[in-house]
Amino acid sequence: MAELSADTGVPVPTIKYYLREGLLPPGRPVGRNQAEYGTAHVRRLKLVRALAEYGGLSIAAIRELVQHLDDPDTSGNDLLGLGQLTVTARQEPQPGPHLEEARRILDDICARHGWKDMRDHPAYATVVGVIASLQDLGREDMLGVLPEYAAAAERIAEADMTVVGDLSDRERALEVVVLGTLVGDTLLTGLRRLAQAHVALRAYGED
């Protein structure tokens, strides 16, 4: 275990904790209170650490993902979906007079892009809430750009999938989806701010 700690930079007490929680498979017993750990343990440990420290996932969420990762009946595509759902917060919209219209607007956008069966996705509820709030505020003008936003989002998602690559490398695919989604959201927000500054200067002048 000391060697596993040295190879990964994860302290021994943390490794023992991950073992107890079922996030890391036990090593091969080689003697009393001794076990051998291989490259698969190193890789899994790095994945678990990344999900916990950089992804901010709870131990329970990581345990569930690891169980799906090790389940041969969970397809690569299903694994990607589970990873994305794990890092997608569900924010239920507040009651109001515009909820049904907001759902209709989003359903229309999904239909135009061929995005099927999205009503159960946690992001659906969040987007409905945002649309309804804009309507409550009388900002229908901001809803006019939703088709452009959706088109841009699909192009970004297609770029995301090129990074995911081969689904046969399940651990890498899961890491890319979970961490890539979290880090990618921050990256996109920053790029959008830079683009807004550029476009505003171009449109309104430097003054």
- Residue 20 is part of a domain; what is its CATH number? 1.10.1660.10
Residue 91 lies in a domain: no
Residues 6+ away with beta carbon under 8 Å from 185: none
In a domain, 76, yes or no: no
Residue closest to 27 by CA, chosen among 43, 19, 62: 19
User: Please, which residues bridge with residue 29 across strands?
Assistant: 35
51-55 contacts, C-beta under 8 A, 24 or more apart: 51/175, 51/178, 51/179, 54/179, 54/182, 54/183, 55/87, 55/178, 55/179, 55/182
CA dihedral 137→194→200→131, nearest 10 degrees, is: -20
pTM: 0.75
Total tally of structural domains belonging to the chain = 2
Q: What are 95-143's pLDDT values in tens digits?
A: 889 999 999 999 999 999 999 989 999 999 999 999 999 999 999 899 9
Domain interval for residue 115: 99-204
